Structure 1
Amino acid sequence: MMNMKKLAVLLLSGLFLNSVAWAQEDSTKTEVGYEFTTINELPYTPVKDQNRSGTCWSFSTIAFLESEMLRAGKPETDLSEMYIVWHTYLQKAVKYVRLHGNINFAAGGAFHDVTEMIKEYGIVPESVYDGLNYGEEKHVHGEFDNMLLDQVKTVVENKNKKLSTAWLESVKGTLNAYLGELPESFKYEGKTYTPQSFAKNYVGLNMDDYVELTSYTHHPFYSKFIIEIPDNWMWGEVYNLPLDDLMAVIDNSIETGYSVAWGADVSEKGFSTSRQGIAVVPEADLTEMSDAEIAKWESLSEKEKSAELYKLEKPGKEKEITQVMRQVAFDNYETTDDHGMLLVGTAKDQNGQLYYKVKNSWGEYNKYDGCFYASKPYVAYKTMSIMVHKDAIPKDIRTKLGL
Structure 2
Amino acid sequence: GGGAFNDVTDVLRNYGAMPEEAYKGINYKEENHIHGEMDALLKALVNAVIKNPNHKLSVVWPLAIAGVLDAYLGEIPKKFNVGGVEYTPRTYADDYLGLNADDYVMVTSFSHHPFYKPFILEVQDNWAWGNVYNLPLNEMIRTIDHAIDKGYTIAWAADVSEKGFQWSKGFAVVPDEEIKEMAGLEQAKWEEMSKKDKMKMLYKFDKPVKEKVITQEVRQKAFDNYETTDDHGMLIVGTAKDQNGNEYYIIKNSWGTHQVYDGYFYASKAFVAYKTTSLLMNKESIPKNLRKKMNIK
> Fold-level match, TM-score > 0.5?
yes
Q: 2:263 corresponds to which residue?
A: 370
| Structure 1, unpaired ranges of 5+ | 1-106
Q: CA deviation at 1:205?
A: 1.2
Provide the residue aligned with 1:271 in structure 2: 165
Q: Which residue does the alignment assign to 1:109?
A: 3
Q: Which residue of 1 aligns with 2:142?
A: 248
2:95 counterpart of 1:197: no
2:210 to 303, 311, 317: 317
Equivalent pair of 2:182/2:190 in contact (CA under 8 Å)? no
Q: TM-score, with normalisation over the residues of structure 1?
A: 0.72
Superposition deviation, residue 191 in structure 1 = 0.5
Post-superposition shift, 1:271?
A: 0.5
Match of 1:341 among 230, 234, 252: 234
Q: What is the correspondence of 1:10-89 to structure 2 with a 5 Å cutoff?
A: none
Contact preservation (8 Å) 2:181, 2:187 = no
Matched, 1:236 2:142: no
Distance 1:222 1:297 in 2: 44
Q: What does residue 154 of structure 1 align with?
A: 48
Q: What's the CA shift for 1:296?
A: 1.5
Q: Tell me which of 350, 354, 358 is aligned to 2:247.
A: 354
- For residues 293 and 283 of structure 1, the distance between their equivalents in structure 2, rounded to whole angstroms, comes to 18
Give the superposition deviation at 1:288: 6.5
Code of the aligned partner of 2:115: F
**Aligned pairs, number:** 295
**2:56 & 2:246 partners in 1: Cα distance?**
61
Partner of 2:120: 226
Higher helix share: 1
> What is the identity, as a one-letter code, of the residue corresponding to 1:187?
N
Instruction: Say whether 1:185 aligns with 2:79.
Output: yes
Residue of structure 2 in register with 1:397 after alignment: 290
Amino acid at match of 1:343: I
Distance in structure 2 (CA, Å) of the matches to 1:186 and 1:398: 38
Amino acid at match of 2:40: N
Cα distance in structure 2, aligned partners of 1:307 and 1:144: 40
Conserved? CA contact 2:181–2:190, under 8 Å: no
In the alignment, what sits opposite 2:69? 175
Aligned mates of 1:246, 1:233 — CA distance in 2: 24
Question: 1: distance between equivalents of 2:246 and 2:2?
Answer: 33
Quick one: which of 174, 192, 198 aligns to 1:281? 174
Q: TM-score, normalised by structure 2?
A: 0.97
Secondary structure in structure 1 of the residue aligned to 2:186: helix
Distance (whole Å) between structure 2 residues aligned to residue 144 and residue 152 of structure 1: 12
Shift of 1:287: 6.2
Residue 93 of structure 2 aligns with an amino acid whose one-letter code is A
1:206 is matched with 100
Q: Which amino acid aligns with 1:117?
A: V
CA distance, structure 2, for counterparts of residue 382 and residue 368 of structure 1: 22
Query: What CA deviation, in whole Å up to 9, does each residue of 1:222-241 have, x standing for no partner?
Result: 11110000111100110011
Identify if the C-alpha distance between structure 1 residues 288 and 160 changes in structure 2 by more than 3 Å, giving closer, same or farther.
closer
| Deviations 1:250-309 (CA, angstroms, capped at 9, x unpaired) | 0000001111100000011110121x200001126546758x722211222222111111
Separation in structure 1 between the aligned mates of residue 108 and residue 233 of structure 2, nearest angstrom: 14
Equivalent AA in structure 2 for residue 323 of structure 1:
Q
> Which deviations, in whole Å up to 9, do the C-alpha atoms of 1:22-58 show, x marking residues without a partner?
xxxxxxxxxxxxxxxxxxxxxxxxxxxxxxxxxxxxx
The answer for the alignment partner of 1:13 in structure 2 is none
Q: Which residue matches 1:101?
A: none
Distance in 1 of aligned mates of 2:197 and 2:231: 27
Secondary structure class of the residue paired with 1:235: coil
TM-aligned CA distance change 1:288 to 1:147, over 3 Å: closer
2 CA distance for matches of 1:330 and 1:289?
30
Is it true that 1:308 corresponds to 2:201 in the alignment?
A: yes
Partner of 1:95: none
Question: How much identity, in percent, do the aligned residues show?
Answer: 56
C-alpha distance in structure 1 between counterparts of 2:192 and 2:39, whole Å: 49
Identify the residue that residue 385 of structure 1 maps to in structure 2: 278
Matched to 1:376, the amino acid is: K
Tell me, which stretches of 5 or more residues in structure 2 are unaligned?
none
Structure 1 position 368, deviation (Å): 0.7
Specify the structure having the higher radius of gyration (Cα). Answer: 1
Q: CA deviation at 1:136?
A: 1.6
